[in-house]
Structure 1
Amino acid sequence: MTEEGYTADEASIEASEKYISKFLRDWIENTEIQKVHIIAHSMANRGLLRVMQRIFDQVQTKTKVSFGQLILAAPDVDAFRIVNDEDGTGTLEILCPNEVVRQRLSKKKRKITNNINTCWSHIRWFSLCIQQDNELDCQKFTRNGDLVTS
C-alpha cells in the first residue's frame, strides 16, 4: 500500500467512527442481548478502539449489556512501546483502551513483571497508560510492581 492510500484509509476509518458508534449504541440499546463480542480487522481496530473509549461507560450505565471479547485481528495500532532512557535502561509503556482495562492490568502486575524479566533485561520500569484529551496519562511501576507515579 502506498503512503497516500494508507492516509486515505486513516481518514476513511475516522469518518466512519460516528456511524460505528451509532450502530453499536442503537443495536445494544434496542435488543435484548446481554453480552457483546466484537471482531475488528486491520485499520478498523483504530476506529473501534476510539469508539469503545467513547461509548463504553455510556452503554454499561444505560443498559445491562456487558462487553465480552474484543478481538483485534491484524491490529494496526500500537499496544505498547519501549521508551529508552539515556542511561541505557527503558520503560515499557502499555497502552490501555480505557481506565477499566488499566485497572484490570494493574491487578496483574506480577505477570507483567515476570514477562519483562524474561524478555527485556534493560527494562527498568513499566507504565499502564490511557489516552485522554490527546495526552498520555500513565501510571509508572518499578520492575517489582511498586507504583512510582500516577
Structure 2
Amino acid sequence: MKLREQMPELIGAAEWLNGQVTREELIGDKPTLIHFWSISCHLCKEAMPQVNQFRDDFKDKLNVIAVHMPRSENDLNIEEIKRVAVEHGITQPIFIDSEHKLTELFENQYVPAYYVFDRDGKLRHFQAGGSGMKMLEKRVNRVLDELEKTE
C-alpha cells in the first residue's frame, strides 16, 4: 500500500476474535491502527505489550485492529491463536487471515507491521519490524493532532 491510499475492505477472514468490524464502521469515526502479527513471530510477541498500551492509552481516540497473518501451517491453528491472544492480552478485534486475503489487499509482507489510517481511511503511516514504537506513537499523535485542529 502507498501513503494516502484508502483502507481496504476487511474481507476474507477465516474468523474474527473479540468482535468483528467493517471498514465502514472505522471510517469517519476516528483514526485506525491496524497491526499485523503472527503466533510464530517472536518480535510480535515482544511488541504486543506496547501495542496493548497504545490501545489502552488512545482507546477513546483510536480504533485498533489486529490481523493474524500466518507464516506457516503451524500458524493456522485457531485454538492456538486464541490461546496466544489471551496470553498476550490482545482484546481488540482480531481478523484471522488464514488465506492471506487481507494481507494481499494490504500488499503486506511483514510481521509485525503497523498501518495508521486517518479518520477518512487514508493511509498515513506504515512501518514494519519490532522496534520503532516511538515513531509509531509520533505518527499516531500527528494524525490525532490534525483531527483536533479540524474539529
Into which bin does the TM-score normalised by the smaller protein fall? under 0.3
Q: Which structure shows the higher helix fraction?
A: 1
TM-score (norm 2): 0.25
Relative contact order higher in (CA < 8 Å, ≥ 6 apart):
2
